[in-house]
Amino acid sequence: MMLKIRIIPCLDVDKGRVVKGVNFVDLVDAGDPVEQAKVYDAAGADELTFLDITASHEDRETIFDVVAQTAEQCFMPVTVGGGVRTVDDIRKLLLAGADKVSINSAAIANPEFVRDAALKFGSQCIVVAVDAKKMGDHFEIFTHGGRKETGIEAIGWAERMAEYGAGEILLTSMDRDGTKSGFDIPLTRAIADAISIPVIASGGVGTLDHMVEGVTEGHASAVLAASIFHFGTYSIQETKTHMQAAGVPVRLA
Partner 1 sequence: MAQINKMTVIIDYGSGNLRSVAKAFEHARVEDVLVSNDPGALKDASHIVLPGVGAFADCKAGLEAVPGMIEALEEQVINAKKPFLGICVGMQLMATLGREHGETAGFDWIGGEVVEIKPNDATLKIPHIGWNALEFVAGVHPVLQGFEIDVHAYFVHSYHFAAANSENVLASVDYGGKVTAIVGRDNMIGTQFHPEKSQQFGLAFIENFLKWDGQPA
Q: Residues interacting with partner 1, by CB under 8 A? A: 1-6, 41, 44, 46, 68, 71-72, 75-77, 94-100, 121-125, 167-168, 196-198, 219, 221-222, 251, 253
Question: Is 137 in the active site?
Answer: no
Look at the chain and count its residues.
Answer: 253
CB 115 to partner 1: min, Å: 14
- Tell the burial category of 116 from Cβ atoms under 10 Å away from its Cβ (0-12, 13-18, 19+): middle
Nearer to partner 1, 51 or 222 (CB): 222
CB 253 to partner 1: min, Å: 7
CB 143 to partner 1: min, Å: 25
Question: Is 12 in the active site?
Answer: yes
49 - beta bridge partners? 10, 79
CA distance 157 to 137: 16
CA distance 211 to 240: 9
Taking alpha carbons only, the member of 3, 84, 2 closest to residue 49 is: 84
Nearer to partner 1, 92 or 230 (CB): 92
Say which of 14, 131, 175, 177 is annotated catalytic: 131
CB 91 to partner 1: min, Å: 10
Which phi and psi angles does 12 have, rounded to 5°? -85, 125
Give the 3-state secondary structure of residue 144: coil
Nearer to partner 1, 77 or 111 (CB): 77
Contacts of 103 (CB under 8 A, 6+ apart): 81, 84, 113, 114, 117, 126, 127, 128, 129
Nearer to partner 1, 123 or 233 (CB): 123
Nearer to partner 1, 1 or 28 (CB): 1
CA distance 227 to 128: 22
CB 221 to partner 1: min, Å: 6
57 DSSP 8-state letter:
G
Which phi and psi angles does 194 have, rounded to 5°? -85, -25
Give the 3-state secondary structure of residue 115: helix
Give the 3-state secondary structure of residue 150: strand
Give the 3-state secondary structure of residue 142: strand
Nearer to partner 1, 120 or 148 (CB): 120
Q: Which residues are catalytic?
A: 12, 131
